[in-house]
Structure 1
Amino acid sequence: MPELIQPVARVHLSFLAAVQEFLAEGRGQASDRTMLGRETQKYGGTWSTPAGFAAYVEAIKADALPETPRAEGIVPATTLWYVDGDEYLGRLSIRHQLTEFLLEQGGHIGYDVRPSARRRGHATAMLKSALPITHALGIDPVLVTCDNDNVGSRKVIEASGGVLEDERVGKLRFWVPTG
């Protein structure tokens, strides 16, 4: 049964296969400002070796700690992976605070489901599973955004209790209660 967990090295091969799926749809390029894009640019060259992948896993776990050095404008974030056994299905990131950009466009939570695992309810299950974790971090309600033409993501957010506040810069902004 799929579950939301801390990143682990045991899903290495499945993670690499998922990255290839994302790359095939044009993600991970230098212009991709999503978490997947940033991580592909920063760590992608090290993912092929077990040691490099293990170092990546530890680095993204450390991103949740306030004392971890980070680029300007990047906030502490808890990254969780959605897996079924050793199969990597997707990931979710909980940003612990909002910058001006995140308030306008990015929100507290971002998520990706690998292309071959989409349209099976995984995104909804991930978001619903993350709400108690977000609440434990002291965030209630949580801001979740999606592109204004992303019907699937809108349905995921609404199924998780999201209430539309407005649209800004092509992004729909929803507030979701966590408690």
Structure 2
Amino acid sequence: MLRLLTPDPARHDDWAALVTAFDGGAMDGSGYVEGERPDTSADAFAAHLDHRLGEEDPDREPAPGRVHGSYRWIEEDGRLVGFIALRHALNRFLFDQGGHIGYSVAPAARRRGVATGALRLMVDEARARGLDPVLVTCVEDNVGSRRTIERCGGAYDGSVAGMRRYWIGTGERPVRPAV
């Protein structure tokens, strides 16, 4: 069974194993920037959770260049297998390249529908928050991610700086932000 979980401080060891499984690869939806090697110590984990969970709190101002968002862990049959995030708004960078939703699945869990199932669940969460449509992007040559987005109803809207842009949903598309 596939579920999206709010990050849980009690699952440090599971999270550390998931981070290690990426072996330095991109962990979109995790809150880490590509190329960043996460510190998996208990103290660093606690700080990471505080930042990620704080971004969901509308009473806390997000860090410069970031927007409020919901971070989730993808769990399959009790094991953490990936990350997914929903940004509650789009700044100019997110509108052009990052999108509302970012996700990644650990290498051992790929090619069996985990990303598609997780994306569908997050699109439902977005709709529950009043976000429709949502923008989802992927690197131009990432065929697996492209197929995942298209299976979830993504309508291609062109590419910007090597990123394919897809809208999922039927609502009115937002205008590109000034910043």
| TM-score, structure 1 as length reference | 0.83
Counterpart-to-counterpart distance in 1, 2:15 and 2:35: 13
The letter for the 2-side match of 1:19 is V
1:37 and 2:29 equivalent? no
SS at match of 2:131: coil
Contact kept in structure 2, 1:131 and 1:178, CA below 8 Å: no
Tell me the equivalent position of 2:169: 177
1:72 and 2:75 equivalent? no
Contact kept in structure 1, 2:2 and 2:118, CA below 8 Å: no
The 1:52–1:102 alpha-carbon spacing in structure 2 relative to 1, beyond 3 Å, is closer
Tell me the equivalent position of 1:157: 149
1:20-59 deviation line (CA, Å, top 9, x unaligned)? 122344x47xxx9x83337956xx33x322x653453343
Sequence identity percentage: 38
Aligned residues: CA RMSD: 2.5
1:130 and 2:122 equivalent? yes
Counterpart-to-counterpart distance in 2, 1:80 and 1:149: 25
Higher helix share: 1
Counterpart-to-counterpart distance in 2, 1:23 and 1:146: 20
Counterpart-to-counterpart distance in 2, 1:11 and 1:114: 17
| TM-score, structure 2 as length reference | 0.83
Question: How many residues are paired up?
Answer: 170
Counterpart-to-counterpart distance in 2, 1:24 and 1:104: 25
Unaligned runs of 5+ in 2: 172-179
Counterpart-to-counterpart distance in 2, 1:178 and 1:131: 12
Contact kept in structure 2, 1:11 and 1:86, CA below 8 Å: no
Contact kept in structure 2, 1:11 and 1:88, CA below 8 Å: no
